Amino acid sequence: MARIIYVEDDERAGAAVRQALREAGHMVGLIDHGMLAFDTIAFNKPDLVILDQSLPGAQGLDILRALRRLPALCRTPILMLSAKGGEAEADEAMGAGANACLVTPFEPELLVRRVAEMLDDDSLPDDAGA
């Protein structure tokens, strides 16, 4: 079971993702405003973060870049969600430090599978001693 923070302002999308991940055995906290996201994530230090690209108050990419500057979170897996879907958006997110990107809408099974892959990814640096 992983502790996941999901930042999403769309209530329906938030509920669907939260349900899919909870059914997969994860604990999921939902934040609906970009300005609340950074402090909440920094304080709680989740096992994985899911960021929507477009948020009120702060954009997902800005939050991603800020999180990557924190030593305690620089290795935390981050999945970026984007409705735009172009390669340029995915490249920008990956360049900013995302570990993976998904284009919305997506099937809940794909999300659950991607989260499991990210949590099990041996290529992610180990936090031991950090």
Residue ranges covered by each domain of the chain: 3-120
Using pLDDT thresholds of 50, 70 and 90, give the confidence band for residue 110.
very high
Q: Is the pLDDT of residue 85 over 80?
A: no
The CA distance from 22 to 33, in Å, is 21
How much is the pTM? 0.89
Over range 80-108, report the average pLDDT: 86
CB 28 within 8 A of CB 14: no
Q: Please compute Rg for the chain using Cα positions.
A: 13
Structure tokens at 14: 């938030």
Most confident of 24-28, 78-82, 104-108: 24-28
Q: Is the pLDDT of residue 19 over 60?
A: yes
Closest Cα to residue 49, out of 66, 35, 32, 29? 29
Question: Which CATH fold would you assign to the domain 3-120?
Answer: Rossmann fold (3.40.50)
